[in-house]
């Protein structure tokens, strides 16, 4: 992939850059600004080079039309605070406001246009519709920089199509993310341990399938673990269960030859509520009417021991309902163990990244915190990611 330096002298040039500013909000308050902070190195590099910067980004899932609840205003404001600069926000994506603001930029100035998903063509499956929108993005600038790793697995106008219309390069964030992903797939130090959690096993079937050939151990927690326990013949009470995946999971367990490590105890409760009374039980004794909401303390210790003995660890997905204190123990134990890895420890974006910050861990406690949960998983599946492929020479 080309780097920013391959684009030549950028002083006075308009740089259209795809960033990932898709931050969680509580009203207008950003609850985790990790993705905005991750965009700073590339934006600072461009500002120092005298570029005139037009930021494309999305937030949430608007339905192809303007929606005030998904405005990028909070993200643009926070970006300005972190850069120590006056970051302007256009009222639209490719309309008169965006064009006028882009034309008015001076060297080193930063403009954020509104949420690209306010445009119906952004996520269209119709290539002609996406291209028509991408041409409007391209008209705002002279070159394109791709720095939103969290969206490189999407064939979208601001990720893929615009990169075919302008001289394009990878930003510092995307370059770093790809280098880390290569260490997890091509240049891996062993023992290699992968920790997978989250709600649904169906979301991670392909990555499990691919990792069975590469990883030394797969530690399974979160809501998805109960489909594995069911496949082993255990009753799981009212826990989250994907009945249609039980046979598939049985096949993985047979193939795994001991690589898949499951909890031996879990934390259960009668209701999905923060204050629901928690009880620790063995996986062979989950009561009817109770649901598992975390791995148990013995399992947390066992998982931590596997992690601390590894040279490479990738973790995607909390071990339980980590936002509730009574069911955060497993996630906290995994996070703590990752900080002790003598090698590469990677927190795989999304809910995992939010969880470690909520639990009080600093970003630099880990080798790398990815900004792209879905993109990371698809990379580990061995898929070609359109937003990366389009940047390759």
Query: Cβ distance 372 to 20 under 8 Å?
Result: yes
Catalytic residue among 197, 223, 350, 387: 350
Q: Using CB atoms within 10 A of its CB, is residue 339 exposed (0-12), middle (13-18) or buried (19+)?
A: middle
pLDDT score at 200: 87
**Catalytic (active site) residue 273:** no
Gap between the Cα atoms of 83 and 40, Å rounded: 7
Q: Is 200 a catalytic residue?
A: yes
Rounded distance between C-alpha atoms, residue 205 and residue 385, angstroms:
18
pLDDT for 373 equals 85
* pLDDT given at position 353: 87
**What per-residue confidence (pLDDT) applies to 350?**
75
Could you give the C-alpha distances from 315 to 82, 174, 361, in angstroms and in order?
28, 19, 15
What is the distance between the alpha carbons of residues 166 and 391, in angstroms, rounded to a whole number?
A: 11
Residue 46: CB atoms within 10 A of its CB come to 24
- Asked if 289 and 168 count as a contact pair (C-beta separation under 8 A), the reply is no
- Read off the tokens for 230: 């069911």
Q: Please indicate whether residue 374 is annotated as part of the active site.
A: yes
Alpha carbon of residue 344 to chain centroid: 18
Write down the pLDDT at residue 252.
94
The residue annotated as part of the active site, out of 2, 77, 200, 383, is 200
Catalytic residue among 13, 14, 18, 35: 35
- Choosing from 50, 108, 374, 382, which is the catalytic residue? 374
pLDDT, block means (10 residues), the chain with 393 residues? 96 98 94 94 98 98 96 98 98 98 98 98 98 98 97 97 98 97 94 94 90 95 97 97 96 93 98 97 97 98 98 96 96 97 91 88 92 91 95 86
Active-site residue, 233 included: no
- DSSP labels for 277-332? PPEEEETT-PPTT-EEEEE-HHHHHHHHHHHHT-SEEEEES-SS-TTSGGG-HHHH
């Amino acid at each position: 992939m080309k780097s920013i330096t391959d684009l030549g002298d950028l002083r006075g040039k308009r740089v259209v850059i795809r960033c990932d500013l898709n931050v969680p909000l509580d009203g207008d308050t950003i609850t985790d600004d990790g993705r905005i902070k991750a965009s700073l190195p590339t934006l600072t590099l461009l500002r120092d080079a005298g570029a005139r910067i037009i930021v494309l980004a999305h937030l949430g899932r608007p339905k192809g039309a303007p929606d005030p609840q998904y405005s990028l205003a909070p993200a643009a404001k926070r970006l300005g605070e972190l850069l120590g600069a006056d970051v302007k926000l256009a009222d639209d994506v490719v309309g008169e406001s965006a064009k006028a603001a882009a034309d008015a930029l001076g060297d080193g100035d930063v403009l954020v246009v509104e949420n690209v998903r306010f445009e119906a063509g952004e996520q269209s499956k119709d290539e002609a519709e996406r291209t028509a929108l991408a041409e409007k993005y391209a008209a705002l600038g002279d070159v394109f920089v791709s720095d939103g790793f969290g969206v490189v697995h999407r064939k979208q106008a601001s990720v893929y199509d615009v990169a075919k219309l302008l001289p394009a390069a990878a930003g510092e964030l995307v370059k770093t993310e790809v280098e880390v992903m290569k260490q997890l797939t091509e240049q891996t130090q062993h023992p290699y341990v992968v920790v997978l959690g989250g709600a649904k096993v169906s979301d991670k079937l392909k990555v499990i399938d691919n990792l069975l050939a590469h990883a030394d151990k797969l530690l399974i927690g979160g809501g998805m673990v109960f489909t594995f326990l069911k496949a082993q013949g255990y009753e799981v009470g009212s826990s989250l269960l994907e009945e249609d995946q039980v046979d598939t999971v049985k096949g993985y367990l047979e193939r795994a030859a001991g690589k898949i490590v499951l909890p031996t105890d879990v934390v259960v409760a009668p209701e999905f509520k923060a204050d629901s009374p928690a009880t620790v039980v063995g996986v062979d004794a989950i009561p009817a009417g109770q649901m598992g909401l975390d791995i148990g303390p013995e399992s947390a210790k066992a998982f931590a021991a596997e992690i601390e003995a590894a040279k490479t660890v990738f973790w995607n997905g909390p071990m339980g309902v980590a936002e509730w204190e009574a069911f955060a123990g497993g996630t906290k134990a995994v996070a703590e163990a990752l900080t002790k890895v003598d090698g590469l420890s990677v927190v795989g974006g999304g809910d995992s990244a939010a969880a470690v910050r909520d639990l009080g861990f600093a970003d630099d406690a880990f080798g790398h915190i990815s900004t792209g949960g879905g993109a990371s998983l698809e990379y580990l599946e061995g898929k070609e990611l359109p937003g990366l492929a389009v940047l390759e020479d």
